[in-house]
Amino acid sequence: MLNAILMMIVLGAALGLLLAIAGVFFQVEEDTRVEQITTMLPGLNCGACGYPGCNGLATALVSGEAKSVTLCKPSTATHRDRINSFMESGVDPLASAHSHSV
């Protein structure tokens, strides 16, 4: 009985260690630009652009599949200019405008 308990503890520890190592080596880095562009879009998730919601369009813009933010029908010129500026420079123009020190 004690032998079986010890064997389960050792096996559990070994598998846990194996999973921890695999988690480090197979970690996938997410592109933060997708989340940032999603927040810049109107957020209606209407699908009028042909993609499944705003996150789908943001993913397509970042990957280069979608060539223009004008696919988003409900977006305003302000939305489009902000996203285009972000795509060119990598910096959100509104975030930098609000981050000046006092």
Residue 79 domain-assigned (yes or no): yes
pLDDT tens string 47-88 = 999 999 999 999 999 999 999 999 999 999 999 999 999 999
Residue pointed to by tokens 């520890």: 13
Q: What is the CATH number of the domain that holds 38?
A: 1.10.15.40
Q: How would residue 32 be classed by pLDDT, with cut points 50, 70 and 90? A: very high
Mean pLDDT of 14-35: 93
Residue 27 domain-assigned (yes or no): no
Total domains in the chain come to 1
Residue 25 domain-assigned (yes or no): no
More confident residue, 51 or 30: 51
Residue 24 domain-assigned (yes or no): no
Percent share of the chain, pLDDT over 70: 93
Residue 70 domain-assigned (yes or no): yes
Task: Say how far apart CA 25 and CA 18 lie, in whole Å.
Answer: 11
pTM for this entry: 0.68
Note the pLDDT of residue 102.
46
Residue 43 domain-assigned (yes or no): yes
Q: Is the pLDDT of residue 100 over 80?
A: no
The dihedral region occupied by 90, where left means phi > 0, alpha psi between -120 and 50, and beta the remainder, is: left
Average pLDDT, the chain: 91
Print the domain residue range for 40: 32-98
Mean pLDDT of 13-31: 94
Residue 3 domain-assigned (yes or no): no
